[in-house]
């Protein structure tokens, strides 16, 4: 958003990962620093309507929030990630994860019970655009999804669409995809398929439980991507 090196923008490291040696040092503020002029601020000055929806992760202090950095309207997740559904003790980013902070135009808010990140971030940006559809101004929309960032979660209807798609296992799927690369001219006809990555066992060496977990994980990831595409 700054068009500069990340250190000049204050993000030499994420706020959660700043080391003792970096604390208090210029470039390691862990947020989008006021010393840079972010793109939405420049566009707003040039006559644009500016909207943000989704992950922010550029600072939660009042002078670091989206509307303070150039957005007319915003709906922001302050942290770098959260559950894609309304976060609970059973659907959190990781066990014991703190409650996510959501901002509606820089004011803390809650999300509805039927919240799902990809759906709601999209709908919120559409709402912002529609609210000024009759304006003669151009608009800049900044839509920042968290999917498919872990935890890998997807709505039931998307999970059902991919159920069983990967039951053959990653080796058969990999062979089929490699053959498709050749057929499409994206790989040379005499290309040799790479071996499995280090630490990944052949499919036939996995137990039934391991196969089931692998397939279900694959389905959840694919469903998260498909819901994002939707």
CB 52 within 8 A of CB 22: no
Which letter, b or e, does each residue of 57-81 get, where b requires 16 or more Cβ atoms within 10 Å of its Cβ? bbbbeeebbbbbbbbbbbbbbbbbb
From residue 63, give the alpha-carbon distance in Å to each of 33, 35, 43, 147, 208.
9, 12, 18, 27, 53
Q: Where are the beta strands (DSSP E) in the chain?
A: 49-55, 73-77, 102-104, 107-109, 139-144
What is residue 99's predicted lDDT score, i.e. its pLDDT?
Answer: 86
- Tens of pLDDT, residue by residue over 31-64, are 999 989 999 999 999 999 999 999 999 999 999 9
**Residue 199 DSSP class:** T
- Tens of pLDDT, residue by residue over 72-124, are 999 999 998 899 999 877 777 777 778 899 999 999 999 999 999 999 999 99
**The model scores a pTM over 0.85:** yes
What is residue 51's predicted lDDT score, i.e. its pLDDT?
Answer: 98
**Residue 109 DSSP class:** E
What is residue 57's predicted lDDT score, i.e. its pLDDT?
Answer: 94
């Amino acid at each position: 958003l700054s068009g500069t090196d990340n250190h000049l923008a204050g993000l030499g490291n994420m706020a959660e990962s700043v080391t003792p040696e970096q604390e208090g040092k210029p470039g390691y503020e862990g947020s989008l620093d006021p010393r840079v002029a972010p793109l939405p601020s420049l566009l707003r000055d040039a006559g644009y309507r500016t909207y943000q929806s989704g992950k922010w992760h550029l600072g939660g202090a009042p002078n670091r929030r989206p509307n303070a950095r150039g957005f007319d309207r915003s709906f922001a997740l302050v942290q770098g990630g959260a559950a894609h559904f309304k976060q609970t003790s059973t659907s959190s980013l990781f066990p014991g994860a703190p409650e996510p902070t959501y901002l509606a135009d820089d004011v803390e808010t809650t999300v509805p019970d039927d919240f799902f990140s990809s759906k709601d971030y999209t709908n919120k940006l559409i709402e912002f655009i529609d609210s000024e559809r009759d304006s003669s101004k151009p608009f800049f929309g900044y839509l920042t999804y968290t999917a498919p960032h872990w935890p890998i979660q997807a709505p039931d209807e998307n999970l059902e669409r991919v159920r069983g798609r990967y039951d053959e296992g990653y080796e058969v799927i990999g062979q089929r995809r490699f053959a498709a690369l050749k057929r499409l001219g994206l790989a040379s006809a005499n290309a040799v398929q790479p071996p499995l990555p280090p630490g990944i066992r052949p499919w036939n060496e996995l137990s039934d439980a391991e196969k089931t977990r692998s397939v279900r994980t694959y389905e959840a990831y694919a469903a998260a991507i498909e819901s994002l595409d939707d």
